[in-house]
Amino acid sequence: MHKTKNAPQQRRSGATPVHTLFELDIVELLDADRLSKVAAGVLGAVHIKNFFTASECRGTVASLAQDSLGEYDQELVGRRIRKLGPAVFDYYNAAEVEPSYWEEAQAAARTRSGLLDGHDPLAVALDRIGAAWKGGVTLATSGGTPLFAGMLREMDEGTGIHFDEVEREFPACLDETPLSQLAFNCYLETPAKGGEVTVFRRRWRPADELQRDGYWYRHDVVAQEPYVTVSPASGDAVIFDPRNYHMVEANHGGRRVTLSFFIGVSRHGNLFVWS
């Protein structure tokens, strides 16, 4: 089901102990301690079984009309990744989030709001995360206006190796700098084979720009690094720090549909989300 490859704990004689701390925890219920550990960089990922029930997944995917999906700029990313809703990523090359973002955001939130038997799957996910965190979860803001969070994303060809760090890619975007950035994905439908997500214990360094392969990065940047690989079943959710390099394998047989957003940890202890 899952694979963990960690470097051995280092403890040479005479040296102080140091721990790699990049495990994959598989749990039935999300808890605040694991969320903190991923945010603090001492846990590779948390894989939550059955975050959504089978009927919540089926209901949401069944009511998601194919024609409601747009996609990331194929010219930029080099593959087809479809999605409902705008990503601030779409505006990385602009100085700020542009008017078309807000229009798309409103339309997508409206479409998504009734997908789960008349309810919003994002609201359900945020309730469950808030219950685990025992604190508030709100939408992140940009220029005082709440951003869109909660894309429904469909990938067939996976992704290359990349990282996501809003403060480094789009410093003007969020009103509050998060102490840590997490990626949340709940897998509403999963392929028979493929679609695994691998997270490497390695953040971006400036010299990595020499290792770029178009939008993605060459495998060399993570070649020596510990990693965790998660093979989620439908209904499962995975939380990791996307500032670590990560990638998704291509699908074989079936669709891979996720509810996806980023989570920032606020200086006040609450969480804020965006896509």
Ligand X SMILES: O=C(O)CCC(=O)C(=O)O
Chain contacts with Fe ion (rule: CB under 5 A): 164, 242
Helix (H) or strand (E) holding 46: strand 45-48
Q: For residue 221, what are the contacts with CB-CB under 8 A and spacing of at least 6?
A: 161, 202, 208, 211, 245
In this chain, which of 147, 183, 221, 259 binds ligand X, going by CB under 6 A? 183
Residue numbers 191-250 binding ligand X by CB under 6 A: 197, 242, 246, 248
| Parallel/antiparallel/unpaired status of strands 193-194 and 251-252 | antiparallel
How many residues sit close enough to ligand X to count as binding (CB under 6 A)?
10
Query: Using an 8 Å Cβ cutoff, are 252 and 175 in contact?
Result: no
Site string for ligand X, 20-49 (x = CB under 6 A): ------------------------------
In this chain, which of 159, 181, 198, 251 binds ligand X, going by CB under 6 A? 159
Question: Which of ligand X, Fe ion, none is residue 197 near (CB under 5 to 8 Å by kind)?
Answer: ligand X
What is the rounded (10 degree) CA torsion for 270, 99, 69, 190?
-20
Residue in 81, 124, 85 with CA at minimum distance from that of residue 101 = 85
In this chain, which of 142, 185, 229, 251 binds ligand X, going by CB under 6 A? 185
First to last CA, the chain: 28
In this chain, which of 90, 164, 208, 236 binds ligand X, going by CB under 6 A? 164
Which of residues 142 and 159 has its CB atom nearest to ligand X in the complex? 159
| Helix 121-133 with 54-62: angle, nearest 10 deg | 150
Residue nearest to Fe ion (CB): 164
Residues that bind ligand X (CB under 6 A): 159, 164, 183, 185, 197, 242, 246, 248, 258, 260
